[in-house]
């Protein structure tokens, strides 16, 4: 028997045969994230318990085989893509326990729990977590989001994923399980060891359990949308709204994205279902009807109402509280833009975790987002520079069918996320085919492999990241895609390296991510 065969047999004995997958089509699928194709894993394993995960890690460490954790696989920054292959890909999907401790207001989720499933379990008890998931939460896991920093739902009020965690149980490269919070229910007891593992892209270990704080669900909500004529107006309006922190979450879109991605999600086929959900969710059915009428009258117009649009979801203890916050928001943001129909945020509140149709563009092109988190005083300058970059490249982009749209989110009170969605005509990978399924794919336009457009998109992506860095941007979801080490001071770099060597002396945990 080869060394590989002996090692795989040991994994089968530890985890059960069904939990060790070496089928060619599985390996081909797991070699891709949303954006890129990497090397083939040696096997994909799916441990069903923390003990089984720890055992598998020990076996990998003993055989000196690299380990790469994967949650829902909904990322696009080469975070679980190992170019050289030959690794064990650890699919955390079977670590799906949810334990709700109502007395202490803490939920413990297995790393593989999706945000959509966590929401269902908590909502049944009238509870939620402060940050409650990315738009990809139908697939994205609590473990994956905590490991690469994530934002969206609950983001204005409560910040990013890393701000909604108490502690982790992490399986280290030795197989030992480290609990990061020294005391139950309390994260900040001495130096923040939990924080060390947020955004680590799995290079320090594999999160097995995550403890998150709880809040009551507020059932009363108002949704409000605004249109703006320029990016400067948009930015001023949302900067002030961000500081006021009246909404649970908000997000903005330019015209290209509004008409493309969001319009497709809101397509005719989905409308009846959405309408039903709007009615079911409305605490006051008459008000639900009024919202529907407003959505119906608005038609598709809110998607074309201005160069930029921002959509707010405001929650309150009762209708009056929500209405009061919405009124304040109108006063603050309305000074810089004009109110438009609220069908987009009403839709998002009804369907916060939509199917992953947006892994392809509105014309079924390939898609990759690129983001930077900017200090507010750099946002307009970056926007101007980005538009100049696009103008300089327009002829080539038109020739190759490459185009972009932009989306924006708050990051706490002081950060502004500028996200650029890049589209190009190209063949789909096994990731897209498996995620979307044959039936859905059959209804889409097909594209042949287009190496010229792909190479151009790669190059444009690099140019955008470099422009973002020139404007001082930081990044979430670093994976292998965003520069990180180059931004650290020598002392910070040395500390990071020392921590890595202490936790993973053989360098087997997701090698290459974070530049480690
Ligand atoms: C349609 C769509 C919408 C999206 N919307 C948003 C959004 O609103 N906000 C946002 O921030 N992002 C968004 N994303 C990006 C992405 O889905 C999220 O960031 C999400 O948090 C990724 O979670 P995941 O479980 O899929 O992680 P994966 O993609 O599986 O992994 C991400 C990284 O974490 C590591 N990892 C995974 N699990 C573990 C673990 N248990 N222990 C240690 N390391 C681990 C992986 O190695 C990898 O480096 C979107 C993506 C898509 C496709």
Q: What is the 3-state secondary structure (H, E, C) of 291-317?
A: HHHHHHHHCCHHHCCCCEEEEEEEEEC
Closest CA to ligand 1's atom 48: 79
* Rounded CA separation 275/54 (Å): 46
Q: How many Cβ atoms are within 10 Å of 192's Cβ, its own excluded?
A: 14
State in Å: Cα 149 to ligand 1 middle: 8
pLDDT at 1 (0 to 100): 60
State in Å: Cα 77 to ligand 1 middle: 9
State in Å: Cα 372 to ligand 1 middle: 16
Q: Which helix (DSSP H) or strand (DSSP E) does residue 403 occupy?
A: strand 403-411
Burial class (CB in 10 A: 0-12, 13-18, 19+), 498: exposed
pLDDT at 281 (0 to 100): 57
State in Å: Cα 144 to ligand 1 middle: 5
Q: Could you tell me if 95 and 168 are in contact, meaning their C-beta atoms sit under 8 angstroms apart?
A: no
Q: Could you tell me if 180 and 208 are in contact, meaning their C-beta atoms sit under 8 angstroms apart?
A: no
Q: Is 108 in the pocket of ligand 1 (CB under 6 A)?
A: no
For residue 416, how far is the Cα from the chain centroid? 16
Q: Is 133 in the pocket of ligand 1 (CB under 6 A)?
A: no
State in Å: Cα 214 to ligand 1 middle: 22
pLDDT at 293 (0 to 100): 52
Total residues belonging to the chain: 516
* Rounded CA separation 488/83 (Å): 24
β-strand partners of 312: 224, 250
Radius of gyration for the alpha carbons in the chain, expressed in angstroms and rounded:
23
Q: Is 69 in the pocket of ligand 1 (CB under 6 A)?
A: yes
Q: Could you tell me if 122 and 129 are in contact, meaning their C-beta atoms sit under 8 angstroms apart?
A: yes
Q: Is 150 in the pocket of ligand 1 (CB under 6 A)?
A: yes
Low-confidence ranges of the chain (pLDDT < 70): 1, 261-303
Token pair belonging to 189: 């007891």
Q: Could you tell me if 54 and 171 are in contact, meaning their C-beta atoms sit under 8 angstroms apart?
A: yes
Q: Could you tell me if 160 and 476 are in contact, meaning their C-beta atoms sit under 8 angstroms apart?
A: yes
Domains of the chain as residue ranges with CATH = 3-93 (3.30.43.10), 95-216 (3.30.465.10), 220-347 (3.30.70.3450), 357-470 (no CATH)
pLDDT at 268 (0 to 100): 40
* Rounded CA separation 193/200 (Å): 12
Q: Is 136 in the pocket of ligand 1 (CB under 6 A)?
A: yes
């Amino acid at each position: 028997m080869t060394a590989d065969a002996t090692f795989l047999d040991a994994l089968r004995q530890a985890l059960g045969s069904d939990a060790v997958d070496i089928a060619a089509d599985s390996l081909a699928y797991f070699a891709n994230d949303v954006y890129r194709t990497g090397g083939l894993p040696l096997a994909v394993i799916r441990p069903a318990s923390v003990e089984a995960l720890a055992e598998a890690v020990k076996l990998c460490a003993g055989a000196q085989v690299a380990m790469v954790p994967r949650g829902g696989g909904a990322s696009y920054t080469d975070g679980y893509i190992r170019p050289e292959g030959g690794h064990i890909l650890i699919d955390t999907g079977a670590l799906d326990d949810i334990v709700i401790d109502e007395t202490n207001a803490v939920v413990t989720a297995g790393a593989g729990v999706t945000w959509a499933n966590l929401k269902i379990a908590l909502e049944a008890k009238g509870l939620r977590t402060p940050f409650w998931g990315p738009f990809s939460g139908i697939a994205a896991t609590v473990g994956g989001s905590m490991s690469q920093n994530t934002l969206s739902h609950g983001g204005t009020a409560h910040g990013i994923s890393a701000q909604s965690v108490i502690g982790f149980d992490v399986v280290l490269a030795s197989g030992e399980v480290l609990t990061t919070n020294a005391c139950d229910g309390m994260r900040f007891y001495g130096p923040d060891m939990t924080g060390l593992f947020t955004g680590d892209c799995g290079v320090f270990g594999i999160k097995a359990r995550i403890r998150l704080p709880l809040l009551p669900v507020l059932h009363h909500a108002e949704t409000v949308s605004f249109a703006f004529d320029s990016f400067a107006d948009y930015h001023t309006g949302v900067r002030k709204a961000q500081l006021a922190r009246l909404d649970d979450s908000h997000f903005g879109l330019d015209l290209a994205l509004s008409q493309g991605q969001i319009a497709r999600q809101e397509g005719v086929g989905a409308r009846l279902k959405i309408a039903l959900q709007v009615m079911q969710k409305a605490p006051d059915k008459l008000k639900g009807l009024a919202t529907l009428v407003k959505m119906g009258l608005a038609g598709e117009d809110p998607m074309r109402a201005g160069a930029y649009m921002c959509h707010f979801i405001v929650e309150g203890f009762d209708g009056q509280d929500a209405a009061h916050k919405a009124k304040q928001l109108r006063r603050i943001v309305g000074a810089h833009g004009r109110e438009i129909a609220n069908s987009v945020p009403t839709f998002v509140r009804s369907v916060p975790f939509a199917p992953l149709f947006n892994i392809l563009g509105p014309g079924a092109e390939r898609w990759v987002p690129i983001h930077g988190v900017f200090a507010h005083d750099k946002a307009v300058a970056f926007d101007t520079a980005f538009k100049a970059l696009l103008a300089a490249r327009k002829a080539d982009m038109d020739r190759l069918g490459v185009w972009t749209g932009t989306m924006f989110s708050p990051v706490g009170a002081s950060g502004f996320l500028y996200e650029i969605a890049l589209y190009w005509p190209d063949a789909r990978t096994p990731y897209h085919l498996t995620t979307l399924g044959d039936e859905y794919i059959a209804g889409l336009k097909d594209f042949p492999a287009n190496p010229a457009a792909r190479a151009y998109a790669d190059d444009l992506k690099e140019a955008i990241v470099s422009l973002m860095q020139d404007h001082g941007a930081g990044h979430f979801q670093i994976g292998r895609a965003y520069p990180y080490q180059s931004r650290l001071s020598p002392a910070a770099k040395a500390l990071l390296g020392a921590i890595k060597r202490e936790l993973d002396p053989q360098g087997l945990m997701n090698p290459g991510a974070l530049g480690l």
